[in-house]
Every structure is written in C-alpha cells, then in structure tokens.
Chains A and B, each alone.
Chain A
Amino acid sequence: MTLSPGELVGLVGPNGSGKTSLMRALAGTIRPTRGRVLLGERPLTQLSRIQVARRIGYLPQNVRASFVLTVEELVAQGRYPHARGLGLLGRGDVEVIRRSMEQTQTLAFARRSIDELSGGERQRAMLASVLAQEAPYLLLDEPTSMLDLQHQVDVFDHIRDLARRGLGVLVITHDLNLAASFCDRLILLFEGRIVAEGAPETVMTAETLERVYRTELIVDRNPVTGSPMVVLMGRRTGDREGN
C-alpha cells in the first residue's frame, strides 16, 4: 500500500483485522515481522525516531493525558521532534502552535484544560498537537471513536481539510459510511491482509463486505453525496445458516 501527499485514505476492517498493528508499523512504533516500510526512498528502520517523528505525525487510539494540560500545552508538546536543548519555545514554534490550533479551530479555547472539553473539541486538540509536528504525513487511529454523530462529522471535516492542504492522511475508522463519503481511497483489511483497495465504490461491494464482516448487508448509494452506503440487515449470516 502507499500513501501520497494530499490524499485521505481510510483503513477499514473488522476488529482484530490488524488495522492498528499496520498503523503502528507505519508509524515505526513497532517493527514489522515481514515486509518493510519506506518513507520516500528510505526504509523507516534507517531513520532515527526523531527523523521519523518529523515526517510522520501519529495519533494513537484513545490517547489520555495523565496530567491535566491546557490545549495550548498539549499542542506545544507536538514541537518535541523539533526542539533543542531545554526545549523552550522560539518564535517560530509559537507560530506553528498557533497555526495548528487555527487549522483545527481550537484557538478559541487554547487556555482551557483538556478535561473540560467536549469529546469532539478534545480530539481536535489532539489533532492540533500532532499537526504541530509539521509532518507531511498523518496517521490517525480511530480519531472518531467515542464521538457522537455530529462530532464524528466535525472531526472528519477537519481531516479532509488537512488532506486538501497537501497532507497525506491515513485514518482508521469503523464507520464505513463516514469513510466512504470522506476518503479518496479505502483499504480493507481482513485477517491481517489487504482484501480490497481503491475508490470507495470498488471496495464497498456487498459481496466483499458480507464476507469480511460476516453480516448480511446491502450497499446502497448515498442519495446526497452519491458515495456508497452500507445498510445492515440485522441478522448474522452464520445464525441463519445455523437455523
């Protein structure tokens, strides 16, 4: 698989299909047992951790801070791969921090502490923190889990916007419909392998999805956006066969 600048790619698949492991290997936080990850021309393993962090911003799933930080402090932490010495912030850093908050519309509550924020605001603050790394590629592991509908759409809007600005973004999500309407491409994982890859229309066929998710479903078309849309039929195929 590849990830290019300016595209938003959705990584989907059932629980345990290896989405998070794949993303961790791409981020360099684990070593793949087989295969290798190339960043540009060079294997990831040849780069130092700091070098990787300057090129790849990675937001793991369910990140929680052990201390109560303000949004601004959280975003400032994203400057770590660029900081030197004591790590006191220079003027350039402050500018990047401000811009990251601006792009995610978190500037308005920069001084609030992150545990006072709503789920959506919190995820945007996390996103801003990763953005402050100024990396051209972003890897986001379920940035919309635990969010209600409105905030899911809100976060995806912001992610879409980042891709439009030229970042290459890979995002894991469980919501196929959301992925279909926002992503340029989808990668479907099943039992550790890529079973389908390409435009949402080609990946999201009823046949493929029924096999992978073992659920009876139909794939319709979103009446507004025209992107494919999954409708669940509510009964597992396995149950029916058993009867």
Chain B
Amino acid sequence: MPLLTLRRFSLVCGIYLLFALAAMVLSSMIGAEPIHLPRMLAAWWTWRAGPEQTQAPSEVFIFFELRLPRILLAFVTGAALAVVGAVFQALLRNPLATPFTLGTASGGSFGAALGFFLPGYLPAVAFSWGPITHVQCLSLAGSLLAILMIYGLARASGRISTMELLLAGVTLGMIFSSLIMALRYFASPHIVVDMDRWLMGSLNVIGYRDLLSLLPLLVIGLGVLLGLARQLDQLALGEEMALGRGVNVPRLQALAFFFGSMAVGVVVAEAGLIGFVGLIVPHTVRRLSGPDHRLLLPCTLLAGGGFLVLCDTVARSLLSPTVLPVGIVTSILGGPFFIYLLVTRRGSKRVWGGDRLG
C-alpha cells in the first residue's frame, strides 16, 4: 500500500461511506412492506405540511418509526462490534481476538440475561432511568467485568502469552454461557423465551428511544478507540518496539480494553449476541485497504455497520413476514465467506505477518 496521504484517506473512506449509505437505502426499501422511497417522502412532505394531529400515512409511519430506527440500530451495532474486533486484534496481535473470544460479549449477555431473570424474584431490580434500563446496566457491568478479568490476568501474571490470554477469554466465555444456561434452567418459560429471542440477536426497535440511550456511551467508546489508531499501528511491531517509540503501552491497553468493552456492552445490551461481525469485517477490510489503523478503523466502522444492515435486510425479507434473528444470518452469510477468504489466502496478498504467536 502507498503511504497514507489525506487524499488516499478521503478516497478510501469515501468508498466505504458509499457502501454503508447504499446498504441503508437498499435496506429501507426492502421488507415485509416494500417502501417506494420517493413516494413515501412525498407522502411525508404533504403530511408534514397538512393540518396537525392527523394520522401519518402507514408508509410514512413504517419508515420513520420502524424501519429507520432499526437500520440505524443495525448500523451502530455492526460498527461497534467491527471496530472493537479490529482494536482487540491489534492489541493482542492475534487474528482471533474479538469481543467474543475475549469473553466481553458473553459477559455482557450474561449481565443482560440476569436482567431478564432477576425481576421475577426481586422486582426492585427492574428500573429505568430515562431511556436507560437495568438490562443495559447489567450488560455493561457484565462485559466490563469480563474484560477486567482478562486485563488483570494479562498484567498481573507478567508475561502471559497472547495465546494464553485468548484461551482465558474463550474459557471465560464458556463460563458465562454456562451461567446463562443455569439462568434459563431456573427461569420461568415466558422469561426464557424473552431471553432466547434476545440472545439470538434482535434488532427489534420502535422509535428512537433505545437508540438514543445507547448513543452517548457508544460515541465516547468508539471515539476513544479511533483516537488510538496511531498507537495501535506502533503496537504492530511489538510492545517493546512501541515502548521505544514513545507509546505508553500499558495506558494504551487499559484505554482500548475499557472503552472497547464498554462499546460492546452497550450494543450487546440492546441487540443481543451478534456473532462474527467483529471477526470477519476487520479481516476483510484489512485485506481490501491495508492494515494502517488510521484508515482501518474508520473503514471498519462503515463496513461493519453496512454489513449488519445488509444482514438484517436478509433476516427481515428472506422468510417475510417472519423475521429471522440477525445473529443467525451474520454467521450463515459471514461464515462461509470468511472460510473462503482463509482458503484463498495462499497465493494472494497476506495481511497477517509471519508472526506466528503462541
């Protein structure tokens, strides 16, 4: 790849932006109720200009209250999972590091499952503060707890290898999964249904309330991560080299782990477990436009958002009017594609270096 100039940066980001916008426009037209955009916009315009307190035309209502919020939620969820995946991969210098393999997503989902479960026994637990609910808070706490354990392991035992750290993360994920199983076992059937629907990943929203509640933390989290891009670039040559170049590596790790899991916790609380986005999107973007994080992170954000919007479109329209959980679609669509990438890796340009960690 040529060196990153402002021109190349804007050009490449522009292409990803077009992809994301195209995905959103496409998604907004397809669904159980096909929407003809110009006609809908015209209807919206006349309704807005017309007398107050008339019912919005159904097309307008579907677009603004159901479809658009859903698309936006899909976008921010995909964007967050993908960016955090890219950051974790850089941090651990390992292609398998994702919010899932490090246990943060599972921690978050355990927290959220607890949020469904507990009110049955302790009604006092259920609260909501503005648009923020106890499920969100517990999910956030769960994912932060998971990353704290991982981070503590990484720092306390001194030179723990990346492989061991990943192993610990996967183990942590399994522990949380078992705890969720335990909750399901003891929960009453109708709560189990709620939990399962949510665990499979759902982007069901009405209106913008939920979206607004997750936006502040998400913007802060992703903003910090994007700001770490140059330091993550230095980490590509190893901790020792990065230290010598003037990067405060312990602080970088702390910031990236904390804000990364915060972003994951927030979206997991809203959208449930949506696998694979954090793994395949960063890898694909790296292959397409190089490993430079100043470019990779914004492009991953756009690509991850666009990808999940497309997956959700498929989930909504494939068996319409039945809506498939989007988590199923990401894995079924993304999995084979990713394996294809791995298989064709030989011969074509490799992205991950000769560094075989572990």
Contact = CB atoms under 8 A, between A and B. Distances in A.
A53 interface: yes
B85 interface: no
| Chain A interface, DSSP helix/strand/loop, else mixed | mixed
A80 B234 contact: yes
A54 B352 CA distance: 29
B48 interface: no
A73 B292 contact: yes
Contacts of B236: 65-67, 69, 77
B294 A87 contact: yes
B117 to A, nearest CB: 40
Interface range on chain B (Cβ under 8 Å from partner):
35 or more
Contact of B3 (A65, A76, A83): A76
A86 B78 CA distance: 25
B234 A68 contact: no
B241 A60 contact: yes
Contacts of A80: 230, 233-234, 245-247
Interface in B241-291: 241, 243-248, 286, 291
Interface string A73-93: 110111011010011110000
B291 A24 contact: no
A53 B349 contact: no
B37 to A, nearest CB: 36
Interface in A25-54: 27-29, 48-54
Contact of B354 (A52, A64, A89): A64
A115 B350 contact: yes
B353 A27 contact: no
Contacts of A83: 230
Interface in B332-358: 349-355, 357
Contacts of B4: 88-89
B319 interface: no
B103 to A, nearest CB: 21
Interface residues of A, number: 45
A48 B241 CA distance: 16
Interface in B1-29: 1-6, 9
A58 interface: yes
Contact of B9 (A57, A67, A88, A111): A88
Contacts of A27: 243-244
A115 B245 contact: no
A176 B97 CA distance: 42
Given A60-B238, A64-B238, A65-B353, A52 B246 contact: yes
Contacts of B2: 72, 111
Q: Which of B2, B234, B245, B355 has the most CB of A within 10 A?
A: B245
A66 B247 contact: no
B164 interface: no
A104 interface: no
Contacts of A81: 245-246
Interface of A: 24, 27-29, 48-54, 56-60, 63-70, 72-74, 76-78, 80-81, 83, 86-89, 94, 97, 111, 113-115, 129, 133
12 contacts: A24-B240, A56-B244, A59-B244, A64-B355, A66-B236, A67-B291, A67-B351, A72-B3, A76-B3, A89-B4, A113-B349, A129-B237
The 9 closest A-B pairs by CB, nearest first: A53-B246, A58-B244, A67-B291, A60-B240, A50-B246, A29-B243, A66-B93, A49-B246, A64-B355
Given A60-B238, A68-B353, 15 more contacts: A53-B244, A56-B244, A60-B244, A64-B353, A64-B354, A66-B90, A67-B236, A67-B351, A67-B353, A69-B353, A73-B3, A86-B230, A88-B9, A88-B294, A129-B237
